[in-house]
Chain A
Amino acid sequence: MNRGMDAAGVRLYQSLAWLPRPPADFVARCRALESEPEPGAQLQLLASHALDENDLHRLAKLITCARNAGHPLSPLIPFRLGILSNATTDFIVPALIASAARYGIALECIPAPYGQVVQEAMSADSEINRAQLDAVLLAVDYRGYALSSTPGDADAARAIVDSALAQLDRIRSGIGGNGRTIWLPRQRTYSAISTECFLEPWSAEFTNSTAVSRSACAAAMMSYLT
């Protein structure tokens, strides 16, 4: 997150400095919402503050409990997000759910079991492929692609990059082939392999953006390995 960003920039994002501080009675307001039959608007209001990890956990738990209890979350818009990662995602799920409410989204996260990226993508009866998701977030860093450094050997690096991209393609086609999703890549590549996102097929720019992102991704990986 902090690549190319100075300490002040990091603090700005860590503290969400552009948002108002949470009210002093934040916890009490959350507890009051536990018995609210239609808490959506109040949830969005509480989510619009600069919340720390504990506040985010509390709010995410509240949103999840309200959904499980069958309470309408309007005006929040329902959205189901699968998460495939080679890292522990338990820390980010509550933050995603609570932060999504700030943007008017009632987010439901379905994380795949730890390290089961390929299996979950390829298997038609996996939790991810059975969950009727609106999108799948693929959050895999270089450790998930068996990359190894090959100083001065561009051919070996190219072979490793091709192998990593082939694995990424298998994951993508697995999810796309087992559901109604397509690949919408991020346009900025921060690391050797960037986070990708599979979304419903509403992006007309899919073909072009895929080509651009794939070549950028390959170039970034070559630079990283050699």
Chain B
Amino acid sequence: MESSEVYSRLNDLFRNVFDNDEMIVTPELTASDVDGWDSLRHVRLMLTIERAFGIKFSAYEVNKLRNVGQLAKLIQDKVGVKA
């Protein structure tokens, strides 16, 4: 899956989870940049992404993520492995 497609789909998913149609997802985006991105919302975000891409994250993988760029890379790796 192309990086642009991953970001396009992530953008829709983030907007849905955070209920914010103005949200723009970038590789540098972190939880501290987004109002309401707390631990509970983070769990819901990860579950939403897992379902949308048909993948599963381990707790270790989620804990290692530091920004959306790393998240997108992880998604690409998993979708690629799956394919």
A and B bind: yes
**Chain A residues within an 8 Å CB radius of B47:** 53
Contact across chains for B44 and A90 when beta carbons are under 8 A apart: no
Q: How far is the CA of A58 from the CA of B43 in the complex (A)?
A: 16
Distance A52 CA – B19 CA, assembled complex (angstroms): 14
Contact with B along A172-193 (1 / 0, CB 8 A): 0000000000000000000000
- Give Cα A52 to B16, complex, Å: 11
A-B contact pairs, 8 of them (CB 8 A): A27-B16, A53-B47, A54-B16, A54-B17, A54-B48, A57-B44, A91-B40, A91-B44
B1-60 interface (Cβ within 8 A of A): 16-17, 19, 40, 43-44, 47-48, 51
B: which residues have CB within 8 A of A? 16-17, 19, 40, 43-44, 47-48, 51
Interface string of A86-129 (1 = CB under 8 A from B): 00001100000000000000000000000000000000000000
**Residue contact B43 to A91, C-beta cutoff 8 Å:** yes
Contacts of B44 in A (CB 8 A): 53-54, 57, 91
Bound Cα distance from A57 to B43, whole angstroms: 13
B73 shortest CB reach to chain A, Å: 24
How far apart are the CA atoms of A57 and B19 in the complex, in Å? 10
Closest 9 CB pairs of A and B: A54-B16, A90-B40, A53-B44, A54-B17, A54-B48, A58-B19, A53-B47, A91-B40, A54-B44
Residues of B within 8 A of A52 (CB): 48, 51
Query: Which residues 31-64 of A have a CB within 8 angstroms of B?
Result: 52-54, 57-58
Bound state CA distance, A74 and B43, in angstroms? 33
Cα distance, A90 to B39, chains bound together (Å): 11
Q: From A52, A54, A90, A91, name the one whose CB has the most chain B CB atoms within 10 angstroms.
A: A54
Complex interface: chain A residues within 8 A of B43 (CB): 91
